[in-house]
Structure 1
Amino acid sequence: MISKACQYGIRAAIYIASRHNDGIKLNIKQIACEVDAPEAFTAKILQVLNKYHIITSLKGPYGGFFIEEFQLEQPVINIVNAIDGMSVFKECGLGLKQCSASHPCPMHDQYKIARDALQNAFQQTSIRHLAMQVNEGSSFINNLVLKN
């Protein structure tokens, strides 16, 4: 439903937020490595997130990406809107252009329930909440598997 770019954007915002209390600015290489995303693609995504004031960037030798306190309270839906737009919550599950309640595809009713639930989850979940889960170790944002 959401694009790969959006997935990377959400993971990047969570990672940056998880480092908020460290008081450091992160560079593209660090972020891309941590979220398991291509560096050039990550750079473009971070520019979009900065443009929409989801994260902040500072240029120069002491620059990098960081998140400010007020930005932590943003819902994840802001990231989806910035990267994919809200139309992802109106698209047909089978990719039809003319799918609606009055002209439904065979999956319309089931897909609408899942799509609406995902939109609600993104609206109700803050970046801070997800970063806290990462910091507590109960959630992860990369594909690395920890060995016991």
Structure 2
Amino acid sequence: MFSKTCEYALRALIYIAQQSKNEGRVGIKDISKSINSPEHFIAKILQDLSRKGFVQSAKGPNGGFYMDQKNRDVSIADIVKEIDGDKLFTGCGLGLEQCSETHPCPLHDQFKSIRQNLRIMLETSKIQAFVDDLDLSVTYLKN
């Protein structure tokens, strides 16, 4: 459903939010190991997300990535749109460019409601809620 870049970004942001909730910072090696992602790939993703304001970074011996409360209140939908665009929320289920209300594909009506439900779910899902679930051991980030 999400691109690999988006999957890694979501897992990394959730992990960083959890680790930095008490003013901590986390390095690329720890992030990569903790979410099962290639170190170089996640470094590139986080560099981009840092430039876009989704996560902060600090250099030096006590450096690393961290998130403030404002970032923990970001919706999953905002992150998905930034990385994968809004095709998940607007695109055709069969990938047709001309699919529309007046020119629907065979899946149009059924997929439209799925897209709407998915959009609502991701817009109402905040990073902080996932951190809370991890802290309660209700969910996990690593296989």
Question: One fold, TM greater than 0.5?
Answer: yes
1:56 CA displacement = 0.6
1:125-136 equivalent positions in 2, closer than 5 A = 125-136=125-136
The one-character-per-residue Cα deviations of 1:72-113 (angstroms, maximum 9, x if unpaired) are 111111211221122331111111111111111111111121
The one-character-per-residue Cα deviations of 1:22-46 (angstroms, maximum 9, x if unpaired) are 4221111111111111111111211
Is the 2:20–2:26 contact (alpha carbons within 8 Å) kept by the matching residues of 1? no
CA distance in 2, matches of 1:49, 1:119: 21
The one-character-per-residue Cα deviations of 1:45-64 (angstroms, maximum 9, x if unpaired) are 11122122111111223211
| TM-score of the aligned structures, taking structure 1 as reference length | 0.89
Partner residue of 1:59?
59
CA distance in 1, matches of 2:142, 2:20: 18
CA distance in 2, matches of 1:36, 1:54: 21
| TM-score of the aligned structures, taking structure 2 as reference length | 0.92
Unaligned runs of 5+ in 2: none
Unaligned runs of 5+ in 1: 144-148
CA RMSD of aligned residues (A): 1.3
Identity across aligned pairs (percent)? 39
1:1-148 equivalent positions in 2, closer than 5 A = 1-143=1-143
SS at match of 2:21: helix
SS at match of 1:21: coil
After TM superposition, what 4+ stretches of structure 1 lie above 4 angstroms from structure 2? none
Is the 1:134–1:140 contact (alpha carbons within 8 Å) kept by the matching residues of 2? yes
Is the 1:54–1:78 contact (alpha carbons within 8 Å) kept by the matching residues of 2? no
CA distance in 2, matches of 1:61, 1:108: 53
Deviates more, 1:120-129 or 1:1-10: 1-10
